[in-house]
Amino acid sequence: MIGFVVVLLLVVGLSTLLWATVGLGRLALALARRLAAPPPPRARTGRDARRPVHPHEVAVVIAAHNEALVIGRTIASAAALVPVRNLFVASDGSSDDTAALASAAGANVIEINPNRGKAGAITAAIQHFELARRFEVVLLLDADTQLSGDYLATGLPLFADPDVVAVAGRAESILAPPPPTLLGRLLVAYRERLYVIVQYLLKYGQAARAANVVSIVPGFASMYRTRVLGSIQIDAPGLTIEDFNMTFEIHAKRLGRIAFHPNRAIAYTQDPDTFRDYTKQVKRWTLGFWQTVRRHRYRTSRFWLALGLYIVELLGGSVMMLLAVPLAIGVGVAAVLDATHSDPSGVSTQVVGILPPHAIALGLIVPDAALTVFTAFVTRRPAYLLWGLAFPLIRVVDAVICLQMLARSFRSGSTGVWVSPERRPVHFAA
């Protein structure tokens, strides 16, 4: 029993169980409030008194590097929600038609040479177009991302709380058209499961008012109050990606609260569908996380306590996934020796007592399968039950990358210069 619990906690994580419980409590409280009489409106004062924020007060910033294949769709989805004059594209060292297509679509365009990286491009656009002075909210949007039709209608009301300074977007994978290969469909399905787990079982609870420990406002489609942008070092030196650092700075400088709800501010992103692009992107994200952790370092706060717990489990779970096969073999051998009384030292008996073979199987397979079942239920895609049989193999890949990038984060920094994954033509997500 002890062995099963240990494996279960390493595979699923105490953080997931903790924040899923908080999320359930948050959901129950929201349902209770709906049944109760609505509270009287609160009087607001100061700059944040002008609520709700309207779409014409939102600037959309799209950093793009050689994104001619998808930039048109992205601009079209954003232009359906805000005036086209509110769209600002930073073409970061593009050698294709990204800038020309963006300009033809009506967006304001700044061409940056040489390539500065996504964070540098975002900073250049905000400064060049004076967005912090002209707008109440800035929406950072990746060039391969499409906004849902109600992205602003559901996301902007979260700014009604004056303490909210950022709204984390909810990610969903673009599935139309599907990837052309079986491996590609597996990778996209796995990424969609990761989105569901993180956003429903972790982030929703972490965004509770009393907690406020969200660890990332994803840069693919999220919103910030412009008044806090001057306090955030978007283009911090030595970091591969910017979104972890921007989120950490909100917590470190106590700028305000991060809001998130899985049914609000939804956007659709194109996930890599080749093993090469998948590993490149996961390496980039993971390295950026470890670099940001090292840059900010531990400080006594609720955010860092939650993050510290997550890091311990991330490392423990990664090691567990790497040791899963040899551990299962070792426990199996110990079980055979114990059953045949072939080990006079009694070591095999102790091993089987601590980690019986069924505990390894149940601890690894059942929790992972449960996460897949939950994803299939949330997304209403039963096919994920079949894809789920191969998900543990991808988790092993993720574990290797996690430990590799941790080691790499101690050796060198990054210029932030980027190369986008290979894109495929997409339809509007919905």
**Residue 53 to residues 136, 156, 185, 428, Cα–Cα distance (Å):** 8, 6, 38, 26
The tokens for 113 are 């040479």
- DSSP track, 130-149: THHHH-SEEEEEETTEEE-T
Residue 159: φ, ψ to 5°: -80, 0
* H or E element at residue 380: none
Quick check: 426 pLDDT over 70? no
Q: For residue 227, what are the β-bridge partners?
A: none
Lowest mean pLDDT among 62-71, 205-214, 317-326: 317-326
Quick check: 415 pLDDT over 70? no
Q: What is the pLDDT of residue 40?
A: 59
Q: What is the pLDDT of residue 430?
A: 46
User: What average pLDDT is seen over the chain?
Assistant: 87
| 407 C-beta neighbours (distance < 10 Å), count | 9
Burial class (CB in 10 A: 0-12, 13-18, 19+), 227: middle
- DSSP track, 279-340: HHHHHHHHHHHHHHHHHH---SSHHHHHHHHHHHHHHHHHHHHHHHHHHHHHHHHHHHHHHT
Q: What is the pLDDT of residue 361?
A: 66
Q: Strand 137-142 vs strand 58-64: parallel, antiparallel, or unpaired?
A: parallel
Quick check: 358 pLDDT over 70? no
Quick check: 5 pLDDT over 60? no
pLDDT, tens digit, for every residue of 95-146?
Answer: 999 999 999 999 999 999 988 889 999 999 999 999 999 999 999 999 999 9
> What's domain 54-179+205-271's architecture?
Alpha-Beta Complex (3.90)
Q: What is the pLDDT of residue 204?
A: 96
Sign of torsion, CA 118 124 127 131?
negative
* H or E element at residue 359: helix 357-379
pLDDT, tens digit, for every residue of 43-70?
Answer: 544 444 456 799 999 999 999 999 999 8
- Looking at residues 367-385, what average pLDDT do you find? 93
Asked whether the beta carbons of 363 and 317 are under 8 A apart, the reply is: no
- CA angle in degrees (0–180, nearest 5) for 206-201-217: 50
- DSSP track, 150-200: THHHHHGGGGGSTTEEEEPPEEEE--SSPPSSHHHHHHHHHHHHHHHIIII
pLDDT, tens digit, for every residue of 158-167?
Answer: 999 999 999 9
pLDDT, tens digit, for every residue of 285-313?
Answer: 999 999 999 999 888 899 999 999 999 88
- Looking at residues 339-366, what average pLDDT do you find? 74
Query: pTM of the prediction?
Result: 0.86
Asked whether the beta carbons of 141 and 270 are under 8 A apart, the reply is: no
Q: What is the pLDDT of residue 6?
A: 53
- Give the residue extent of every domain in the chain: 54-179+205-271
Lowest mean pLDDT among 168-172, 238-242, 275-279, 413-417: 413-417
- DSSP track, 40-81: PPPP--SGGGS-SPPGGGEEEEEEESS-TTTHHHHHHHHHTT
Strands of the sheet with 145-147, listed across from one edge: 145-147, 266-269, 170-173
Q: What is the pLDDT of residue 321?
A: 85
| Percent share of the chain, pLDDT over 70 | 87
